[in-house]
Amino acid sequence: MKKTLKSIYIVLFFLFLCLPMAFMPFFKNDASLEKRSLAEFPSYIAEGRLNLQFSDQFESWVNDHLPLRAQLLTASNSVKGELLKGQTSNVIVGKDGWLFFASEAADYMGTNAMTDEQIKSVAVTLSLIQEQVTANGGRFTFVAMPNKSSVYSDYMPFQYRKAQQSNLTRILAALPEYKVNYTDMLAVLSSHRDEGVYHRRDSHWNYRGALYGYNAITESLGRAHDTFDNAKSTTEKTWRGDLDKLLLPAGGVMDDQIIYDVKHSGFTFTRPQGVGNTQAQLEIFMSDREERDDNFSTKNKDLHDGSNLYMARDSFGRALLPWMIDCFETATFRRVNHPEVNNLPSGTDVVYEIAERNLNRVIETAPFAFAPVRQGITAKDKTSGETLGAVSKSEGYGFHIYGKLPENADVGNGRVYLLLSQNGKDTALEAFPVFESKLIEEAGTKGFSAYISKDFGLSGTYQLTVIAGNTAYPCNAVVF
């Protein structure tokens, strides 16, 4: 009898374990709730051979497609997060129901502090972007959007100790030396924090914060605009925050949203073409659905002043869309980490907006802007005995030269120059002080990267010398 009961118990136990697999065809998990793609079912064969990672990939697939996953996560996170106030699902549960992205913690506590050289590299990179924009007749402003914890630090859990300085405050302090125009959004939003400018359960600002931001950005650009100071508004509990979705994916708490009684200008989408209901499409771009929102353009029906905007943005830029569309005759919005300012129409104003938690991305890849010519740059100073390697790639627009500097290099003020010598004649260009981490298959933080237009007229073989700080580094010859 006991043996029979044990056998029944074992059978029932394994049937219970198999139940999730049996229910999989009848349940579909929503990837948008977790802001990532769910794992796909792995192949048995990969690259013509047996997939040795099949078991790990299969485990990831099962975990992502487990029936009632959202409900199970919600129950677990309700206990760990809301009840025990612990970090869970990439969310920090703060005081009084405030939620913060876990990725903010490094900025908040200063554990991801950039080196002084990296801070200079950010400032130099922005100055070079601005130089090309202004040379093209436009205006430029850099907009670093503060993390919510930088504005509402008093709602962070007590175990997180705020650093005296952050990458954001250090970069903002460095920009005036390089004459970079910027919008101090940290100061703007902090001065209005008591009015409520961020959502409690979302990582972003609300529409009130975005209106203050719009006014600050347009003022920084010197662009005439309506401030909407007297616009009436209502508060509606209609916003489902991204952090709330992460914490409670099966259904959580609706957040307040500020709705302004403002009639915006009529406009059309020039990209994508053929949009019938422009308001519906704009609402999609302003939501967190992130559908084809990486590159779109508009034309204002009420403005005919030739004004043009190019805005490199991230998710914070969504709330700015109707205000910026109102302010320019034409506008292009690119969801990119690095602006592409080559070939912009003459007189285009450029806004470069990026979140504080992503500031390191400014110098991960060089922006697509042509290297300017510099006069008076020579290699007669201290010449290093170390020879550097540089990569020169021919592209449709011209050439891309990039490489790595020694990690112990003294970069001085952060500027890096490329000296191209041919038949006794030198040509100096200023490169971005960027280590192309995606192109160079080595570890490092110091490097150089320059885009050179084919219209510049380089042809043949040139001896390359890289100059950083007061040191000249001989390099290999490059062929154009």
* Residues 142, 127: Cα–Cα separation, whole Å: 10
SS3 343: coil
Q: Which is it for strands 330-335 and 308-313: parallel, antiparallel or unpaired?
A: parallel
pLDDT at 385: 76
Instruction: Reply yes or no on whether the pLDDT at 86 is more than 90.
Output: no
Instruction: Reply yes or no on whether the pLDDT at 186 is more than 80.
Output: yes
* Residues 424, 206: Cα–Cα separation, whole Å: 60
129-177 confidence digits (pLDDT tens): 999 999 999 999 999 999 999 999 999 999 999 999 999 999 999 999 9
Q: What percent of the chain shows pLDDT beyond 90?
A: 72
Amino acid at 36: R
Cβ proximity of 345 and 385 under 8 Å: no
* Residues 461, 479: Cα–Cα separation, whole Å: 4
* Residues 349, 371: Cα–Cα separation, whole Å: 20
Q: Which residues is 438 bridged to in the sheet? A: none
361-395 confidence digits (pLDDT tens): 999 999 999 999 999 998 776 787 788 889 999 99
204-244 confidence digits (pLDDT tens): 999 999 999 999 999 999 999 999 999 999 999 999 999 99
pLDDT at 52: 61
SS3 107: helix
Can you say how many angstroms the Cα of residue 19 is from the centroid of all Cα atoms in its chain? 41
Mean pLDDT of 294-308: 97
Q: Which of 23-37, 51-65, 109-123 bottoms out in mean pLDDT, i.e. has the lowest?
A: 23-37
In which band, very low, low, confident or very high, does the pLDDT at 465 lie, cut at 50, 70 and 90? very high
Give me 51's structure tokens: 């997939």
Greater confidence (424 vs 182) lies with 182
pLDDT at 67: 55
Nearest to 213 by CA among 294, 319, 107: 319
Give me 321's structure tokens: 């869309």
Dihedral over alpha carbons 155, 158, 159, 164 (to 10 degrees): 80
Cβ proximity of 470 and 439 under 8 Å: no
Mean pLDDT of 50-57: 62
pLDDT at 21: 54
Q: What percent of the chain shows pLDDT beyond 70?
A: 81
pLDDT at 30: 54
Count of CB atoms situated within 10 Å of the CB of 175? 20
* Residues 295, 260: Cα–Cα separation, whole Å: 26
SS3 257: strand
Give me 384's structure tokens: 């290093």
pLDDT at 291: 86
Greater confidence (59 vs 442) lies with 442
Q: What is the mean pLDDT of the chain?
A: 88
Instruction: Reply yes or no on whether the pLDDT at 74 is more than 50.
Output: no
List Cβ neighbours of 201 (8 Å cut-off, separation of 6 or more).
97, 98, 99, 241, 243, 244, 247, 252, 253, 255
Q: Which domains does the chain have, with CATH numbers?
A: 2-67 (no CATH), 95-363 (no CATH), 373-479 (2.60.40)
Single pTM value for the model: 0.84
Instruction: Reply yes or no on whether the pLDDT at 405 is more than 70.
Output: yes
* Residues 150, 442: Cα–Cα separation, whole Å: 34
Element (H, E) at 480: none
Count of CB atoms situated within 10 Å of the CB of 244? 22
pLDDT at 246: 87
Instruction: Reply yes or no on whether the pLDDT at 63 is more than 60.
Output: no
317-366 confidence digits (pLDDT tens): 999 999 999 999 999 999 999 999 999 999 999 999 999 999 999 999 99
Q: Which of 73-82, 206-215, 400-409 bottoms out in mean pLDDT, i.e. has the lowest?
A: 73-82
pLDDT at 290: 84
pLDDT at 415: 97
pLDDT at 53: 63
* Residues 125, 360: Cα–Cα separation, whole Å: 12
Mean pLDDT of 400-421: 95
pLDDT at 72: 47
Mean pLDDT of 453-477: 92
Instruction: Reply yes or no on whether the pLDDT at 28 is more than 60.
Output: no
Nearest to 465 by CA among 407, 388, 398, 410: 388
